[in-house]
Amino acid sequence: MFDRAHDARVRAAAFEWLADQVARHRDVLPRQVLAAGFQLEGIRVPLVGPQGIFKPQVLSDVPLSITTAPDGPYDDAFGNDGLLRYRYRGNDPNHPDNKGLRAAMERRLPLIYFHGVARGRYVAAWPVFVVRDDPPNLSFSVEVDDATYYKRPEEIAAQSAINEGDDARRRYITASVRVRLHQRAFRERVLDAYRRQCAFCRLRHEELLDAAHIVPDTDPEGEPVVRNGLALCALHHTAFDRFFVGLRPDYIIEVRADIRRERDGPTLVHAIQALHGTRIVLPRSVPLRPDPKLVEMRYEQFRQGAR
């Protein structure tokens, strides 16, 4: 028999634990941490399992989380209405996992969504709600809500019908999460390609690394793909964006002439001026290296600004 109070305690504890993990690891979480989970009243509660729709043993019949694996077998994507389309497990609408998500929708229970941005690394969004079941297309529609509304078990247990304000808020948050997922996926793919080091200076402190666009994402050519990305430390990302430095199509760095002439202490000398004429670190995989056409476009902008 479904025990709403017990179910709410488990979900509230999972949300609290997850918030703590994000504070420790930032928002890209290792799968092994999620699989190990946490202890609740002496019982281990993992947050993910072998299947995308996951229910730990501590819960009766409604899953705790849904997961989209990187390069997984299911085509989970956002629809034209901005909502996440989460695929059924298999083709049977009455598979126990699919019935579990249907129960979550009917009881308005919050779940956790894990989006795989790279092998073994996931971005978490919570709470999420199943808001529509679409058997002909073997999928559910999912919205993200604000975690501050669901911190305590009694807040989860008291979840009632969605009013118009709730729906508008959830659609706005879902759109924001969609952008964040794309940004994190781009960063992880680029950092993996460059072996988690700055392409300019080889700094390996991941907390200080960014995925820089060669051509900005506001440009029609600026797609969030590895060939339009560079792994750069925060300093060199800013220097690249502000055209202090440029990258030639042969992957040689140029420092703007006026910057080379400046006298401003050791940081400028060693961190910026010394880059002039050096070759960047490149991905080992040739298909992941910067697209020469995009580098040429960006280099021409640098040359225009350097005149």
Task: Give 253-302 pLDDT, tens digit per residue.
Answer: 999 999 999 998 899 999 999 999 999 999 999 999 999 999 999 999 99
pLDDT band at 38 (very low <50, low <70, confident <90, very high): very high
User: Tokens for 294?
Assistant: 């995009």
Task: Give 194-219 pLDDT, tens digit per residue.
Answer: 999 999 999 999 889 999 999 998 88
User: Tokens for 34?
Assistant: 């999620």
At 161 the pLDDT is 47
Residue 82 gets the label, from left (phi > 0), alpha (psi -120 to 50) or beta, of: left
